[in-house]
Structure 1
């Protein structure tokens, strides 16, 4: 009984009441401060409507967002030749007018846009028939332009393929719908061409003899060439067919030259 009496006297004492009220005020301040901080940090209660960016051009996105505290980023571009370049075809989060959802300030809207061009690999069709080559290139979304040159060896076959005047390398990519220039061999009738003497010339000098001419073609072999310098300095040591005053070959034929970087230039 004495314990309960002492406890009752302590509870109604001014010291206990003062400490209890002080503790309560401190606890209230802690809860209020924490709530205010987290509400400010997480933008609690802040709701911003998401504008509809779909089917608009990416250049107009900033204007569509306007003064709203939102940002946007372009994730990637997707090939679609039926849409204007830069058309927004995807956004996340979705527009408020269709989803009913709102977001917090500084939310980033992710978008994907359309593009009307993409790179495709060019298949190598040299030595293939013209018809086959055109079909393969067309299946890759490429167009062709055919140029026929006299040839008694590659009749109807692709001799060279070029893009914008340059030979296509293995693994090369070009924009879809590009024009690939095909050089196709075509049989010639009757015309005979004199054989030029290419002995002692460098490979580059020999090639210059054939620039602008479709009558004959040149094929070079340099088995001893290991570096670019070797190829530049190598000179023709023999050719086939052999040149002579009376030697002639049919138009469209190929002359093969054999070069060596160690050839005697004297």
Structure 2
């Protein structure tokens, strides 16, 4: 009786089985898998910065892309939930289904500590506020000898001390010194005086010499004060630091260079 399978038949069957398995493997990796996963295909990343998060979500879904929020910050000039940054950048080629990593503008601003602006200059206050992402509001001059010095700081009409909590992006109003002070007194009379003596008197009372205008043909000795502004009228008041203009007899002195 002959055997059902010779050794040659076994080898033949094994070869057929190996060929079948090989065809299945090649068909799976090179035909089926690419057709179901779009293997090797890519799509350009759309620009979504500036879009609101719900709109961007629907838009990316149409492009077969996904997103992931990996950061958030606050910018008072941008809308709540506006997309600030994205990665990959617009135009980059990625596979469908790829996640786009984004940062989003927060709806509510974080709280920060109010910086100290008092006793510093307005210029310095503007630089500090900018570094804290705060905005300069109304600058109101008030009587004080410290010209352009910050005296008080306000948020929403309420005076705020350094270190108090305020919302990032808040508008800060400032009261600054006008350099004139708050003390009023009667306007001193200097008409008829020599201009150098009049200047000493005015400066000695905390006033400033404004314009000096020379008038010829007045009949008065040269250098005599003929007129002043403000006038020294009864009841006329002036404040420390204000200017006094003088009209003086004669011609303007010519400066000599030695």
**TM norm structure 2:** 0.43
**TM norm structure 1:** 0.42
